[in-house]
Chain A
Amino acid sequence: MAHRMDRRQFLRVAAGATATALLPHSWARAQARPVRIGFAISETGPLAVGARLTQTPNYYLWRDEVNARGGLLVRGEGRRPVEFVNYDDRSDVGTSVRLYERLIREDRVDLVLPPYSTGIIFAVAPVVSRLGYVLLGVTVGSLRIRELGAENFFALLPQPDSVTISIVQFLREVRERYGWNRVALLHIADLHGVEHRTAILPLLQRERFEIVEDRSYPITVTDLSDVVRALQARRPEILVAFNYPADGPLLVQQCIALRFNPRIMILGVGAFFPEFRQQFGENTNGIVCHQAAWTPKLRIPGAREYYEAFRKKFGRDPDYAGSSLVYQSLKMLEQAVAEVGLDQRRIKDYLERHEFNGPWGPVKFERGINRAGNYVGRPNRLGQWQPSGYEVIWPPEYATARPIIPKPDWK
């Protein structure tokens, strides 16, 4: 871990652990008041799909692990069991805001965990922040976070600027070796797509890439065959798409059917799901994904352990991007609470001052946004499906495999 335990901390942890070990188990449990952690997340409605794939499983994994260790270590109080107070926000912004007020004002929880999706987090963050609570948001991607003025809010995923920088760096390297220069851009017409497209356009132009097509489609799209035909007609060598889980497969299906096979194909959200591999099998080989790539093969402390624990508990793989970061955000809270207790202001200071690592990777906040990427000169990670599974291919210091270039023909 980037944050090393000093001697004093070690003694404290050890003392807490010994005290717990010496007491009869049930007695210790009965004595320790539980730490109550609250969240409201989409269990029904359109956002339930994403929330239940990427986010909530990690909450339960972490809680069970902590409780199996005898509870959450709170500075000055020893271990206290973790208890969740949670609600369903029904994928509705208004309901979510209301429930967070309830969690903080009525249920008086000790800590809150974030809801799912940019729209809901945007509404909840200022409210939670005003009530003095720290919120570590993972599934939020927009540079407009700063407009919220939510000073107790932290965003973890690489934001559009660092994602697009890594794509363009990778493409520049590819061009040096292969000479491919013709780029087609495709994005979904919502905040996520528009911000990424707005960020990548000047970068590509500055590097003098030729942009042969630049299209968008609505979030409710049900078919992309006409889009693929139009793209195909422009003969791009490189395709970069800023898509969502539901439309990525539409795109790939039509590319296969119409035998549209750009040399480099870079996709976004959803291409990192194990389900994507299940659906398309070996046809996924060579597809690059630009969203915060992660695999258990990364030489990052805790990556392999996290993967094994997740598989053991849920019988499936976590997604190869944000899932491990959700888990890491909980570990960060755990670490902060062990160091400074449950006071929100001190947790906030702690999160701002320290650098964290594992199982997802380095996290260091700068004005509330994780800048470990650009901050220390490391861009967002790109991943690629290969016969050996999902591999990180960029930047080189993280790479778990050499990239497969060009993308193989469709089977």
Chain B
Amino acid sequence: MARGRVQLAWLLGLGGLGALFSLPLWASTYVVGLLQALFAYVALASAWALFSGLSGYFSLGSAAFFGVGTYATFLLAPVVGWIPSILLGAGMGGLVALGVGGISLRLKGPYFAILTFGLSELVRYLVLGYEMRFSRTVGRVLILPVDVGGVYLAVLAVAVAAVGLSMWLYGSRYGRLLAAIGADEGRLESLGFRTTGLKVTMFAVSGVLSAAVGGALAPRWTYIDPHIAFSPLISFQTVLMALLGGATRWWGPPLGALTLGLVSEFLSIRFRYLYLILLGLLLIVLVRFWPRGLVEVEDRARRWRGRRLPLGEERRAELQPGWSAESDP
């Protein structure tokens, strides 16, 4: 019975992936374009959660990696081609993350958040200073023969990688270790756990994926300058989506990205410039009634059906004391 269900889930998952990857063949340009935008945020939110979701280190620096990836593609795609430039950019994003992680992971809480924000802004203005002094211009233009379908596929590939990785991570030993870091890092260290390696690695993985999103989206921009590529709004929106979904489950951040993306699209088309006011109200109401994010939908559904948590889930919840109301020491 249980095995049958697992097989069914795999089958459904593969079918769904097939449908998504074949989307440009049968869906309209608008739908492909919309999903491309949504999956870009799914990828960013999942990549963010890979490190920040469980560990409680809230990074406000996604824009730095995203921008590095975007710039890498703008500079390298004419030389090596688009796909290789995404990979190279992702590598650079990883290197930047290693550097940033190496110096910033000593800090916790708001200090870490503000530091990552500061570093990402610093990168933006250093790139700007470089362009003005040495390139004698500010913006760069890139025309690639890639249509919306191509961009969609690249973004989807990154999103699948990010979501797949977090699916694995959240169920793994490393995920539990990250959650324990979020709960009480000091105690973990006093018990003899080495946490630095894991933290830096996950931060770098998150940087690789965020940069890949930037490179994958690049053909859509045509023109970039540091203010566009390193816009702090990218970081804010990523965190907003991940937290809205709830980072205690692997599927929280993607769900948050899809929800916020779709709601924004609907509200902005329907209500024009009132849409951000409505979105703000919605955020406040949601936080008030679903403090753990959209993932509460699961608990509620369970409670409604009067069923217990499955064994694995229960254990995982236990191991994330920072996230549940009962286990704060």
Contacts and interface: CB of A to CB of B under 8 A. Distances in A.
Q: Do chains A and B touch in the complex (CB under 8 A)?
A: yes
B222 A43 contact: no
Contacts of B148: 101
Contacts of A105: 28-30
Interface stretch (B104-112, B131-139, B291-299, B314-322): B131-139
A195 to B, nearest CB: 8
A218 interface: yes
Per DSSP, chain A at the interface is helix
Contacts of A343: none
Nearest to B269: A87
A193 to B, nearest CB: 8
Interface in A146-189: 147-149, 189
B143 A126 contact: yes
B121 to A, nearest CB: 10
A47 to B, nearest CB: 12
Interface in B27-44: 28-30, 33-34, 36-37, 40
B268 A88 contact: yes
Contact of B221 (A43, A90, A123, A125): A123
Interface in A89-142: 90, 93-95, 97-98, 101-102, 105-106, 118-119, 122-123, 125-127, 142
Contacts of B28: 105-106
Contacts of B143: 126, 147-149
- Chain A, interface size: which category? 35 or more
Given A87-B268, A88-B272, A189-B128, A98 B33 contact: yes
B228 A119 contact: yes
A190 interface: yes
A126 B273 contact: no
Given A87-B268, A88-B272, A148-B143, A190 B138 contact: yes
A144 interface: yes
A194 interface: yes
Given A94-B221, A190-B225, A219-B227, A101 B138 contact: no
Nearest to B276: A44
Nearest to B231: A92
Contacts of A102: 29-30, 33
Contact of B217 (A90, A94, A101): A94
B103 interface: no
A159 to B, nearest CB: 15
Interface string B122-155: 0001001000100011110101000010000000
Nearest to B143: A149
Contact of B30 (A44, A106, A189): A106
Q: Which of B141, B222, B225 has the most CB of A within 10 A?
A: B222
Nearest to A103: B30
Contacts of A198: 136-137
Nearest to A198: B136
B138 A44 contact: no
A320 to B, nearest CB: 26
Interface in A36-81: 43-44, 48
A144 B139 contact: yes
A141 to B, nearest CB: 12
B225 A101 contact: no
Contacts of B30: 98, 101-102, 105-106
Contact of A123 (B37, B125, B222, B275): B222
Contacts of B268: 44, 87-88, 90
B223 interface: yes
A93 B139 CA distance: 14
A122 B268 CA distance: 23
Nearest to A219: B227
Interface in A224-273: none
A191 interface: yes
A216 interface: yes
Q: Which 10 A-B pairs have the closest CB atoms?
A: A122-B223, A98-B33, A102-B30, A105-B29, A43-B273, A147-B141, A106-B30, A123-B222, A191-B138, A191-B139
Given A48-B273, A93-B220, A119-B225, 6 more contacts: A88-B268, A93-B221, A98-B34, A118-B223, A126-B143, A218-B128
Interface of B: 28-30, 33-34, 36-37, 40, 125, 128, 132, 136-139, 141, 143, 148, 217, 220-223, 225, 227-228, 264, 268-269, 272-273, 275-276
5 contacts: A105-B30, A106-B30, A123-B222, A149-B143, A191-B138
